Structures are given as structure tokens and as C-alpha cells.
């Protein structure tokens, strides 16, 4: 075996955390979010070591160092907060800390002769350190050295050697000649806060119809923006806004034949007038899009576009780049199929083509095109039907130039596939939330997700244009309130497909189906935004609560709590400084009131059994005085199927938030 470069590098770094697959994938953070690094480091015998966290942006020329603190059990910790978007590297350096080893022995020496000799050794170490120091530190070290092997009384010299001041001086001038650095460094992708905390609203601009028109435009849809902004959403996600193919166009309710009036599916992208870089003529022009996007910005909204990398048979790519499509032996292009089903309105791109480089480059250009047109958020359609390495390259490549760009993966697939896409770089991911409705299902699933927090950011959707869950079909308006509360509090990021959601649209295409009847995917739908019974106010309040309570702006502290009713689910979150504590109780039964006792986690909140505390229920504005570990709650579907409590402890006669970790 090869000799190591220097066998005196004796500190052995076992593991650095956090890491995904031992560093094969990067972890994720948002700007302002700390990376709390821990390392397990061992060395032979009774040697002491010192550790340093090293971090730098990728492409940076030198490491930034942060001294690490020993936690015991060979573990060391330090944190850094990346200050720029993009990729950063981090790793750990460790070295034998000769001074600490010497000092630790001195503490335990008892014989005068030993102490005297040790002080001479120590003086030599301190003098050596002085050569690594400057200015006042150097002078101080030399002074200590002179004392240590000077003529003073032994005990005074020993005390001097053991001062914290000397320890600090020595720690600041370490001998790192024989440091070990953990290789290869780990990586963190730092994205902007929207990656972690975001409320999404999806709608079809073409449904923003104003009579006598049959098709909305970006201009008419701009009015929807105001409606959405008023509800407090952050991101407006539009299904594809591109020209729609005519060949094999789908009709209402996914029928195989479309009439002239039928607009077709927005995901059948491409017609004579353009493809992925064009705007559907009936929606408007590119200038209209710019106007629309600027209006969104004015309202504090971001637009998310849908990246659906597939083509209708009429897409310009079919004629311009025939090699990008698989061909059948009869020369016709291979349409999408999963035999015996055929999707003749879609031509999938052939990623096995010899011209893969040109294909990848064009798809990247599509993204760059929309970035140049002001878009920084993309929802990606079915990424699991395109090669994994393609996404790893695309996201990383785009983010290298535009580190503020976010990608949401819409992949309803096997868990392994969904997690892999997140590892490969998707900023956020759709989840199984829609199909997790019972207390056990929700608890199990979010417990599973919690173990993947370092790379998987869930975005919870109670409904999408493809998914109208049975729970919403049968639960009535309360079901919508329940699922919205769950999504908005379990998830720092959540989204709804509206106005179908707030108008509690629950009619499936047929019994047993998860498709909407008269789905907006295949026709325009007129929505009465002012309809009575709209959950608009409710969503507005939920979004306001999220914005006002930092606890809800991250998933890291999600903890399920015990409540003695299977229909009631209870969980809490808290802000990182502990001052904002939110406890949520949701009645999962949309038909009946449910009651139960919550086991309040007083220990977690440093509350004694006798300490009174207050709960402000933020949806209704009611306040409650609670005390002790058992609190009784009743939730009724009609009035308030979900309670979002902010927990306070009055420390003085004036109300003050309490310090969670006091």
C-alpha cells in the first residue's frame, strides 16, 4: 500500500456530518440557515486533538476556518452560515494538539520533579507558538514562556501554565503542520429562503375568462394575481403557457376527440407558432407575459412556470430535430405509450438519441430563455420520466449561473425515485401528502420525511389538477379546511390548485376516480371567486399565520404530540431561538366534532406542572389559560376543524413570549 504523505498526521477523522450518502450528494440549506457540522475524530492513546471546520464557496480560493468545540465521545462541532447562494464546500481539519496533551498531563502531575520538567517542555511549546503569533499575542506568549521555565516558585509557574488565558493564546496559534483534512469535502447547496418557506397557488390563466371571450388571457389573468396576492400566497404556478398541439388534441374529460372549441391540454406543448419558448397565442405575446410577470412582482408574487419536457406532434422540434424523437419502423414518430394505453397527443423526447448533447443544450436554453424573461422558479413535470443524470446536470448547470433559481419536482413515483431526484438537486418535491389522511398515515409519513431533511424539502399539495382525493370528494367544505390546515402547518412549503380548492370543488369525473369532472386540464372553467362559502378568508388567515410565526417557516422542528383520539392529530413546531412555539391540533373527521386530551410536552417547553401558560388560537383569535400536562380540546368541523395555538408563558404581568429552551 502506498505510504501516506506524512505519517505524523495522526488525527483520524472518522466521519463528518451532515452528509448524504457519505458525501455523494450535497445537503441543502437556505441563505441564513446554519450548517451545524459535527465530526468524529480519534487519535491514538491519550493524545489530545484540536479540530477546525473549514468551509468555502465552491470556486473560492481559500478556506474559512471555524474552531470546533468538543462535545465528548470523540465528537466535535461548529457551525457556519453561508452568506452567498450556490454551492459551498465544508470539511474538517484535525491535528494533534500537543499543548492540550501537555496541559492535560500537567493537571494530573503530582511530583515536583515531574512538574519542573513538564514546565520546561511547556515553555518550549509556548515559544514555538510565539513564532506563529504576532503583535500582542506573540509578546504574551513569550512572557508566559519566560515564566514557565523561569526561576519563580514552582506552584506559581504551574498555575500560570494552567490559566485559561494561556490556553486561549495557544489555541489561537495552533501548530497545524500535521493536520489531517477529511477528504473529499462535503457540499451544501445554498438556495434562497423561498426554497424552504413558500405558499404556492396554481391556476389556469386561460380560465380567467371575461365574457364574451371563451379563453382567458394573461391580461385577464392579471386580475387573478391580485386575488391570489391578497390571500397571502408567495408563488403563482402556471401550467404550461405555450402553444398547444392540434393533432390528437384531447377533449373535455380526456376524451380522444376535441372539437374546434376545445383548448386541449396545456401539457401537449407545441404548435406551428412555437414550442417551449413561445406563449400560447390566445394567452398573449411575450410582451404580455412580461407585463403579467411585472404585475406579479408588484404584488409581491413570483411566477413559477411548468417545465414539461415533451412535445405535441405539432411541436416545431419534430420537424427541426427529428433525431430527438424515437421512430417506429414505419417511420412515424413514437408517441407516448404504456401499452396498452396510448397517449397520441404526446411525443416524448428520446434521451437515448445520438444527439443527446444538442437535446440537453436546447432544454437548458429553454430554461435560460425563461430566466431571461424574469422567471426564477420552475415546477418540473414528471422528472422521473427523464434521465436522472440529465436533471443533475441541468439543475447544477443552471444554478451555477443563476443560484437563485428553484426547481420543484412533480414526481409521483417510488420513494427511492423521489428521494433520488431531491438528492440530485431539486429544491422542493411533491410528496405522498395527498394520500396520507389518517393520523397514523400522516405521522408515519412525516416521520419518514424528517430523516431526509438535509436534502428533501416537501411541498404539500392537498389537491392538484390531476388529483382530487376521495377525502375531498366526500368530506365537504370541512375536508378542504382540514387539508389546508394540515398542508400549511405540517409544511413550510405548501400549495393548492385553485380556485377549485377554495371553492371546495369536490366532484370527480366518475365514482372512484381521482380526476376532476370537467377538468380544467381539458377545458376552461369559469370560477366565481366571490362565491359564498369560499375558503378565501380561511386561506388568507392561514397564510398570515405562517408569515407571522417563524416556527412555521421550517420543517426542522416538527414533532408529533400525543392526543388521545385517533381522529385528532397534534404536532408542534418552534422557531430556532425558541421564542415562537406553535401547537397544532386538527380534527381529521370532516363530519363530526371530536374531543380529546393533549399530552402537553411541558418538559420540552421547560414548564413546570404548576406553571400557567396561555394558548392563543390564531385562526379564531381566542385565548385560553392552560396549566399542566393535560389539556382538553373540542374541534368541530363546521366552525374550526383545526386549531393553531401559539403558546405563551406570562413571566410578568405584561405578556411576554417565553424562551423555549430556558
Q: Catalytic amino acids? A: 381, 410
For residues 161 to 200, the per-residue mask of contacts with a second copy, x marking binding by CB under 8 A and - elsewhere, is -----------------x----------------------
Please identify, using beta-carbon distances, which residue of 353 and 611 lies nearer to a second copy: 353
Touching a second copy, residues 41-70 (CB under 8 A): 42-46
Q: For residue 594, how many C-alpha atoms fall within 13 Å in the half-sphere facing its CB?
A: 23
- Least gap, CB of 177 to a second copy (angstroms): 10
Of the candidates 14, 210, 444, 566, which one interacts with a second copy according to CB under 8 A?
14
Residue 144: CB atoms within 10 A of its CB come to 23
Residue 370 neighbours by CB under 8 Å, 6+ apart: 277, 305, 378
Told to check if 338 binds a second copy by CB under 8 A, we report yes
- Least gap, CB of 89 to a second copy (angstroms): 14
Told to check if 356 binds a second copy by CB under 8 A, we report yes
Of the candidates 61, 151, 319, 328, which one interacts with a second copy according to CB under 8 A?
328
Which one-letter DSSP state was computed for residue 30?
E
Told to check if 597 binds a second copy by CB under 8 A, we report no
Told to check if 15 binds a second copy by CB under 8 A, we report yes
Of the candidates 88, 242, 293, 384, which one interacts with a second copy according to CB under 8 A?
384
- Least gap, CB of 388 to a second copy (angstroms): 4
- How far apart, in whole angstroms, are the C-alpha atoms of residue 370 and residue 639? 44
For residues 414 to 453, the per-residue mask of contacts with a second copy, x marking binding by CB under 8 A and - elsewhere, is x-xx--x---------------------------------
- Least gap, CB of 466 to a second copy (angstroms): 17
Q: For residue 372, how many C-alpha atoms fall within 13 Å in the half-sphere facing its CB?
A: 9
C-alpha grid cell, residue 314: 405539432
Segment (H or E) for 571:
strand 568-574
Cα torsion for 491, 492, 498, 504, to the nearest 10°?
40
- Least gap, CB of 102 to a second copy (angstroms): 11
Told to check if 74 binds a second copy by CB under 8 A, we report yes
Residue 192 neighbours by CB under 8 Å, 6+ apart: 30, 31, 85, 404, 406
**What would the DSSP string read from start to end of 490-527?**
H-SEEEEETTTTTTT---BSSTT--SBTT-TTTS----
Told to check if 248 binds a second copy by CB under 8 A, we report no
Q: What are the beta bridge partners of residue 568?
A: 587
Of the candidates 36, 155, 156, 389, which one interacts with a second copy according to CB under 8 A?
389
Distances in Å between the alpha carbon of 558 and those of 10, 389, 553? 40, 32, 11
Check: CB of residue 647 under 8 Å from CB of residue 659: no
575-578 LR contacts (CB < 8 Å, sep 24+): 575/549, 575/550, 575/551, 575/660, 576/550, 577/659, 578/659, 578/660, 578/661, 578/662
Residue in the structure block whose three cell numbers are 371530536: 594
C-alpha grid cell, residue 443: 405521522
Please identify, using beta-carbon distances, which residue of 360 and 369 lies nearer to a second copy: 360
Of the candidates 330, 510, 528, 532, which one interacts with a second copy according to CB under 8 A?
330
- How far apart, in whole angstroms, are the C-alpha atoms of residue 552 and residue 312? 41
Check: CB of residue 266 under 8 Å from CB of residue 346: no
Please identify, using beta-carbon distances, which residue of 388 and 412 lies nearer to a second copy: 388
Of the candidates 72, 153, 319, 340, which one interacts with a second copy according to CB under 8 A?
340
Told to check if 309 binds a second copy by CB under 8 A, we report no
| # residues near a second copy by CB under 8 A | 68
Which one-letter DSSP state was computed for residue 458?
B
For residues 80 to 119, the per-residue mask of contacts with a second copy, x marking binding by CB under 8 A and - elsewhere, is ----------------x--------xxxxxxx--x--x--
Please identify, using beta-carbon distances, which residue of 211 and 354 lies nearer to a second copy: 354
Would you tell me which residues interact with a second copy (CB under 8 A)? 1, 3-4, 6-10, 12, 14-15, 21-24, 40, 42-46, 73-74, 96, 105-111, 114, 117, 120-121, 124, 178, 328-330, 337-340, 348, 351-354, 356-357, 360, 384-390, 392-393, 396-397, 400, 414, 416-417, 420
Amino acid at each position: 500500500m502506498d505510504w501516506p504523505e506524512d505519517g505524523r498526521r495522526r488525527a483520524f477523522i472518522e466521519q463528518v456530518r451532515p452528509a448524504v450518502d457519505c458525501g455523494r450528494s450535497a445537503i441543502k440549506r437556505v441563505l441564513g440557515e446554519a450548517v451545524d457540522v459535527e465530526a468524529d475524530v480519534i487519535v491514538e492513546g491519550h493524545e489530545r486533538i484540536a479540530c477546525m471546520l473549514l468551509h468555502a464557496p465552491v470556486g473560492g480560493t481559500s478556506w474559512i476556518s471555524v474552531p470546533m468545540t468538543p462535545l465528548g465521545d470523540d465528537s466535535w462541532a461548529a457551525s457556519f452560515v453561508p452568506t452567498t447562494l450556490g454551492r459551498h464546500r465544508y470539511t474538517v481539519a484535525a491535528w494533534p494538539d500537543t499543548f492540550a496533551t501537555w496541559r492535560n498531563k500537567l493537571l494530573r502531575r503530582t511530583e515536583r520533579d515531574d512538574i519542573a520538567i513538564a514546565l520546561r517542555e511547556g515553555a518550549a511549546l509556548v515559544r514555538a507558538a510565539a513564532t506563529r503569533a504576532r503583535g500582542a499575542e506573540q509578546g504574551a506568549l513569550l512572557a508566559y514562556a519566560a515564566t514557565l521555565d523561569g526561576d519563580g516558585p514552582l506552584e506559581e509557574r504551574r498555575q500560570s501554565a494552567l490559566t485559561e488565558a494561556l490556553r486561549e493564546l495557544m489555541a489561537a496559534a495552533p501548530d497545524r503542520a500535521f493536520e489531517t483534512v477529511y477528504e473529499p469535502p462535503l457540499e451544501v447547496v445554498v438556495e434562497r429562503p423561498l426554497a424552504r418557506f413558500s405558499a404556492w397557488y396554481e391556476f389556469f390563466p386561460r380560465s380567467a375568462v371575461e365574457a364574451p371571450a371563451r379563453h382567458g388571457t394573461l391580461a385577464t389573468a392579471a386580475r387573478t394575481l391580485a386575488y391570489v396576492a391578497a390571500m397571502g400566497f408567495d408563488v403563482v404556478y402556471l401550467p404550461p403557457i405555450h402553444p398547444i398541439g392540434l393533432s390528437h388534441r384531447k377533449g373535455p374529460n380526456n376524451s380522444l376527440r376535441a372539437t374546434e372549441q376545445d383548448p386541449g391540454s396545456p401539457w401537449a406543448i407545441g404548435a406551428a407558432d412555437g414550442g417551449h419558448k413561445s406563449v400560447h397565442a390566445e394567452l398573449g405575446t411575450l410582451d404580455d407575459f412580461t407585463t403579467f410577470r411585472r404585475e406579479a412582482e408588484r404584488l409581491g408574487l413570483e411566477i413559477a412556470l411548468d417545465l414539461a419536457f415533451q412535445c405535441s406532434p405539432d411541436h416545431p422540434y419534430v420537424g427541426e430535430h427529428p433525431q430527438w424523437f424515437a421512430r417506429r419502423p414505419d417511420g412515424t414518430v413514437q408517441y407516448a405509450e404504456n401499452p396498452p394505453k396510448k397517449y397520441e397527443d404526446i411525443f416524448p423526447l428520446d434521451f437515448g438519441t445520438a444527439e443527446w448533447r444538442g437535446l440537453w443544450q436546447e432544454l437548458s436554453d429553454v430554461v435560460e430563455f425563461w430566466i431571461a424573461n424574469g422567471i426564477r422558479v420552475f415546477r418540473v413535470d414528471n422528472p422521473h420520466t427523464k434521465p436522472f443524470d440529465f436533471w443533475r446536470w441541468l439543475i447544477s448547470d443552471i444554478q451555477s449561473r443563476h443560484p437563485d433559481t428553484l426547481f420543484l419536482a412533480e414526481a409521483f413515483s417510488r420513494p427511492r425515485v423521489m428521494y433520488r431526484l431531491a438528492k440530485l438537486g431539486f429544491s422542493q418535491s411533491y410528496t405522498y401528502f395527498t394520500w396520507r389522511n389518517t393520523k397514523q398515515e400522516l405521522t408515519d409519513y412525516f416521520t419518514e420525511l424528517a430523516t431526509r431533511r438535509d436534502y428533501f424539502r416537501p411541498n404539500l399539495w392537498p389537491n392538484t389538477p390531476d388529483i382530487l382525493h376521495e377525502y375531498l370528494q366526500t368530506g365537504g367544505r370541512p375536508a378542504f379546511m382540514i387539508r389546508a390546515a394540515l398542508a400549511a402547518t405540517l409544511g413550510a412549503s405548501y400549495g393548492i390548485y385553485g380556485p377549485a380548492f377554495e371553492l371546495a370543488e369536490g366532484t370527480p369525473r366518475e365514482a372512484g376516480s381521482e380526476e376532476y369532472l370537467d377538468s380544467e386540464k381539458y377545458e376552461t372553467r369559469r370560477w366565481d371567486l366571490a362565491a359564498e362559502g369560499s375558503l378565501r378568508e380561511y386561506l388568507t388567515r392561514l397564510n398570515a399565520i405562517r408569515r407571522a410565526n417563524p416556527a412555521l417557516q421550517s420543517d426542522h422542528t416538527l414533532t408529533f404530540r400525543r392526543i388521545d383520539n385517533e381522529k385528532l392529530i397534534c404536532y408542534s413546531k418552534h422557531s430556532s431561538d425558541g421564542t415562537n412555539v406553535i401547537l397544532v391540533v386538527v380534527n381529521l373527521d370532516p363530519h363530526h366534532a371530536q374531543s380529546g386530551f393533549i399530552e402537553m410536552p411541558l418538559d420540552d417547553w421547560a414548564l413546570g406542572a404548576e406553571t400557567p401558560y396561555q394558548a392563543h388560537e390564531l385562526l379564531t383569535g381566542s385565548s385560553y389559560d392552560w396549566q399542566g400536562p393535560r389539556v382538553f380540546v373540542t374541534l368541530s368541523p363546521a366552525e374550526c376543524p383545526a386549531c393553531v395555538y401559539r403558546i405563551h408563558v406570562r413571566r410578568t404581568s405584561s405578556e411576554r413570549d417565553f424562551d423555549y429552551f430556558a
